[in-house]
Amino acid sequence: MHDLVAATYGRGIWITPLWTATEDVTTATAAPGSVTFASQAYGSSSSAQTVTVRNTGTITLTPSYVTASGDFSETGNCAGSIVQPGQSCTIQVTFTPTQVGSRTGVLTIFANVTGGELTVSLSGTGASSGVFSLTPASVGFGSWEVGTTSTVLQVTANNSGSPALPYTSAITGAFSIASNACGSSVPAVTSCNLTLTFTPTQAGAATGLLTFTDAFGTQTVALSGTGLAPPTMLYRSAR
């Protein structure tokens, strides 16, 4: 068996088996065909899941190299082994998320099979190691004249874990974000502040919602205020 090895600066190494007319090709399976890991805290390693490679052909299976991409790693007894017909070898796959959210990869087994390789799709979800929240849960601005902007009130975004947590924000109603010290993500194990204002567009009660959406869900702060009609000027005609 011969391998073509390609390497680039900073991009890793690729290995592809080269089969010649003098080398025999067998059939094999890798089961399960996909592996999904439960949610795993950022930076920590999961328990291993097993992939079994079975020689379903009539000649020897010789896996030459096994690799896992993305946030996944592998160990096992397949690479460099000789697997007789009807026999199998096993690979242990673990997941160590480097980011929060959905993560994917591929387990590739290079061997003397048609196409030169067997593949298993890998997936998992990286979770923050802490809790993300917005406080307080509601903000009331009181009463302000229509068209007048209120004083600023503060909301705090708290991230008690790792890593930094990217998010998107939205605000509804007659409310605005005046300043945002969080940027596009809340840093790990810290908190940051936003200030909000209320500018009523009509008289009466007004409500709105500040929403943060991140990889794990949505956090909200209920907003309220009251618009006051501007004073009416009365003119008395001269007689």
What tens digit of pLDDT does each residue of 92-126 get?
999 999 988 899 999 999 999 999 999 999 999 99
pLDDT digits (tens, 9 = 90+) for 184-219: 999 888 999 999 999 999 999 999 999 999 876 899
The residue whose two tokens read 């391998």 is 3
Q: Where are the domains of the chain?
A: 2-127, 132-228
Could you tell me the fold of the domain covering 132-228?
Immunoglobulin-like (2.60.40)
Q: Do residues 67 and 91 lie in contact, with contact meaning Cβ atoms separated by under 8 Å?
A: no
Q: What is the pLDDT of residue 1?
A: 45
In the predicted model, what is the mean pLDDT of the chain? 90
What CATH number should be reported for the domain whose range is 2-127?
2.60.40.10
44 contact partners, CB below 8 Å, separation of at least 6:
96, 129
The two domains 2-127 and 132-228 share their CATH topology (first three levels equal):
yes
What predicted TM-score, i.e. pTM, was given to this entire model?
A: 0.61
pLDDT at 50 over 90: yes
Could you tell me which residues come within 8 angstroms of residue 95 by beta carbon, excluding any fewer than 6 positions away? Answer: 37, 40, 45, 46, 71, 72, 103, 122, 124
Question: What pLDDT was estimated at residue 236?
Answer: 60
